[in-house]
Structure 1
Amino acid sequence: MADLRSDDRAQVLLVAGFVLAASFVALTLVLNSVIYTENLATRGDDAGGGDAISYRNDVADGLESMVESVNRNGSTQPVLRDKLSRAVVSTSRRAAQFQVLRGISANATLVSVEWGTRIGQNRTTGNFTNSTVPASADVASDWTIATGVEGTRSARINVTDSSELALSSNDPLEVQVTDGTPWTLTLFKNNSAGTTTAIRADPPSGPSRVCSAGSDPTIGLTAGTINGTDCPALEYGEGISTPYTIAVENGRQFQGTYSLVVDEVIDSTDIEHDNYGTAPDVPFALPAVYAATVHVEYQSTSLSYATDTRIHPGESDD
C-alpha cells in the first residue's frame, strides 16, 4: 500500500482543486461563447437580414409585372432589353425608398435576359386563325402556333363575343398541346345566345373536366383561371412531356384576342413564321423576354447582402 504522508495528501487535494477550477472556467467560457454566437445571429436578422430578403422579394415581384408590360411595348430585342433595364432601375428605387431613410443602400441591376417569342392577336373582332389565307379557308382554322416548345407563360384568351362561339356539337375552338397524344382545351357556348360559356380540358388520359363562366370570359390558360378565379379543369398541358407542339383547330369558331409567350427565340425554326404577320392587325410573333436575371445588393452598417435572382413571370405556368 502506498505511504501517503499528510503533506502529500494536501498537495494532491490542492492540485485536484486547481484542475476542477480550471475545468469550471473553461466550461463557463464555452457556454458564454455559445450564448454570444446565438445573440450575434439574432442581432444579424434584426439588423437587416429579413429586410434584405424582403427587398429582394419586392424587386422580384415588381419586375414580374414589368416584364409583361415590357413585352407588350417592345418589338426588338435591343428595345426590350433597354426597357427592361430601365424598369429594373425604377423598381429597385421604389423598393428601396424607405431603406434610404435608415442609411441603407439597396439596388438592383439587370444581369441577363432569356429570350422567347410573344404570339398573339390584338383585334377584339379577330378570330383564332392564322394570317396567311382568308378566314373562309379551312386551312386558316387548323394551324400550328409553335413546335419544340419547352415552356409557355402568360397564355390568355379573351372572348369578346360569346355568341360567336360554336355549340359543343358544332366543331368548337380547340387549343391542343401535344407530344404525340394531345392535351386539348375546348371552348364553346352552352346555349345559342352565348350567355354562358364552357371550358373543357381533355388530358391524354383520364376524364374530361369542365368549368363554366358567363359571357365573354377571360381565360388564364396557363394560370388556370377564368376571370381571375381558379378553374380546376385547367391544368395546362397536363400529362404532356417536353418538347411539345401548340396547335389550333376550328379557329374560326371564336371572336376575341389571345396572347402567349413561348421559350423559343423569334428566329427559331420552331416558330411557324408563315402563320404570322405584324402586330396589331393580324396574328403576330415578336421577340419577348421569357425570363431575366437581376443582381440585388443590400448594404447596412451591420449587413452586406448580394445575390442573383431570376425573374420569371408565370413560373407556375410552365
Structure 2
Amino acid sequence: MADLRSDDRAQVLLVAGFVLAASFVALTLVLNSVIYTENLATRGDDAGGGDAISYRNDVADGLESVVESVNRNGSTQSVLRDKLSRAVVSTSRRAAQFQVLRGISANATLVSVEWGTRIGQNRTTGNFTNSTVPASADVASDWTVATGVAATRSARFNVTDSSELALDTGSPLEFRVTDGSTWTLTLFKNVSDGSVTAIEVDPPSGPSRVCSAGSDPTVGLTAGTFNGTDCPALDYGEGVAAPYDIEVRNGRQFQGTYSLVVRDATIDSTNYGTAPDVPFALPAVYEATVHVEYQSTSLSYATDTRVRPGESDD
C-alpha cells in the first residue's frame, strides 16, 4: 500500500484546490457568455436582429392585403399560386429597397399554401339566397353555405336595402353556426325605431346580446364590427366547436353582398354559380408560408413566417 506522508497529502490538497478554483472560473465564464449571447439575441439593436424582424413583419403585413387581392382575382389554385408567388417577390423587394443601401441582402419566397374556399355574392341587388343560375336552379331562402367547416376568416356582409328588413324578429335575416349547438346572428329593424337596425346574437349558452346601428348595415362577422364600430355582441361562433355548418335563414327577402373564406369545408356546388354575377364558391388561399432571409456583415437570419389574412378578425 502506498505510504502518503503528511507533506504529500498537503500537496495533493493544494493541487486539488487549484483545479477546483480553475473549474469555477471557467464555469463562470461560460455562464456569462451564455447570458450575454441570450441578451444579444433578445436585444435586436445590439445584434442587428431588430432590423431583420422588422423586415419579416413588413413582408408578412404587406402580404395580408396581397393575399386578399389575389383571392379576388383568381379562379383556380394554379393561377392563385402563380399570382401569389410573384406578389411575394415584389413585396419582398419593396420591403428591402432601403436595406440594399446599407449593404444588406433581404428577400422572401413562397414556400407553401394552405387552401380554402372563398364564398360570396357581389351584386348589391342580389339576395341572400343560393345560386339563381341557371334559371331552373332550386333557389332557397333557407340554405346551407358550407358544412364541416374547420375555420372561417374575413366573413362580412352588407345589407344594401334595409327597407326590406322586418320591423320585428318574426322573419329576420339569420346566420347560423352549428355543430349540434347553434350560434345565431339575427338582423332586424328595431321595433321602437324603424330607422335603426339591430343585431341580436344568441350563443348556445348564456344570454342574448344586442348591438344597434344605422340603415343599410355592414357587418364584419369575424371582425366583430357593425358599420365599422366594435359590436360586443359579436363573438363569431362562440360556444361552437369545429367542424361546424354555416346556414342562412330568410335570405330571399333581403338584398345585399357577402363574402367569407372557409377552410376544410364541404361545399355543395349546386348552391353556387361563378363569379361575379351570382353566389360563387372558388378556390382561395387561406394561409401562406413564406421563407424570409436577411443577411448583413454581422447577422445571418432566416425563418418561415405565416401570412394569415383576416387573422386579426378570426
Give the alignment of 1:167-182 within 5 angstroms. 167-182=167-182
> 2:232 — aligned with what?
232
For 2:140, the aligned partner's letter is A
Shift of 1:39: 4.2
How far apart, CA to CA, are the structure 1 residues paired with 2:184 and 2:257? 19
Rate the CA distance shift 1:23–1:244 in 2: closer, same or farther, 3 A: closer
User: Could you tell me whether the CA contact under 8 Å between 1:162 and 1:194 is conserved in 2?
Assistant: no
> 2:145 — aligned with what?
145
How far apart, CA to CA, are the structure 2 residues paired with 1:251 and 1:39? 63
User: Could you tell me whether the CA contact under 8 Å between 1:293 and 1:309 is conserved in 2?
Assistant: yes
Rate the CA distance shift 1:138–1:188 in 2: closer, same or farther, 3 A: farther
> 1:185 — aligned with what?
185
User: Could you tell me whether the CA contact under 8 Å between 1:187 and 1:199 is conserved in 2?
Assistant: yes
Q: Greater Rg, structure 1 or structure 2?
A: 1
Decide which moves more: 61-70 or 50-59. 50-59
Any idea what SS the aligned residue of 2:48 has? helix
For 2:249, the aligned partner's letter is E
Shift of 1:309: 1.5
For 1:183, the aligned partner's letter is W
How far apart, CA to CA, are the structure 1 residues paired with 2:37 and 2:261? 46
Give the alignment of 1:264-303 within 5 angstroms. 264=264, 270-303=266-299
For 1:103, the aligned partner's letter is G
> 2:3 — aligned with what?
none
User: Could you tell me whether the CA contact under 8 Å between 2:115 and 2:286 is conserved in 1?
Assistant: yes
How far apart, CA to CA, are the structure 2 residues paired with 1:82 and 1:29? 55
Shift of 1:195: 2.5
Rate the CA distance shift 1:260–1:194 in 2: closer, same or farther, 3 A: farther
Runs of 4+, deviation exceeding 3 Å: 11-45, 132-135, 191-194
After superposition, the CA RMSD in angstroms is: 2.9
For 2:57, the aligned partner's letter is N
Rate the CA distance shift 1:279–1:172 in 2: closer, same or farther, 3 A: same
Give the alignment of 1:91-240 within 5 angstroms. 91-132=91-132, 140-190=140-190, 195-240=195-240
Q: TM-score, normalized by length of structure 1? A: 0.85
Post-superposition CA distance 1:131-162 (Å, at most 9, x none): 24899x99521111111111111100112222
- Matched residues, percent identical? 75
Decide which moves more: 24-33 or 138-147. 24-33
Aligned residues: 306
Post-superposition CA distance 1:26-52 (Å, at most 9, x none): 655554554455444445532222222
> 1:304 — aligned with what?
300
Any idea what SS the aligned residue of 2:81 has? helix
Decide which moves more: 165-174 or 240-249. 165-174
Q: TM-score, normalized by length of structure 2? A: 0.86
> 2:66 — aligned with what?
66
Any idea what SS the aligned residue of 2:278 has? coil
> 2:48 — aligned with what?
48
Any idea what SS the aligned residue of 1:141 has? coil
Post-superposition CA distance 1:217-268 (Å, at most 9, x none): 2211011112332211111111112211111110023221100111137xxx
Is 1:315 aligned to 2:278, yes or no?
Answer: no
User: Could you tell me whether the CA contact under 8 Å between 1:154 and 1:259 is conserved in 2?
Assistant: yes
Shift of 1:25: 6.4
> 1:4 — aligned with what?
none
Rate the CA distance shift 1:35–1:165 in 2: closer, same or farther, 3 A: same
Shift of 1:19: 7.8
For 1:279, the aligned partner's letter is A
> 2:250 — aligned with what?
250
Shift of 1:98: 2.3
How far apart, CA to CA, are the structure 2 residues paired with 1:33 and 1:169? 71
User: Could you tell me whether the CA contact under 8 Å between 1:264 and 1:271 is conserved in 2?
Assistant: no
For 2:308, the aligned partner's letter is H
User: Could you tell me whether the CA contact under 8 Å between 2:132 and 2:139 is conserved in 1?
Assistant: no
Is 1:80 aligned to 2:80, yes or no?
Answer: yes
Decide which moves more: 21-30 or 225-234. 21-30
User: Could you tell me whether the CA contact under 8 Å between 2:133 and 2:273 is conserved in 1?
Assistant: no
Rate the CA distance shift 1:33–1:204 in 2: closer, same or farther, 3 A: closer
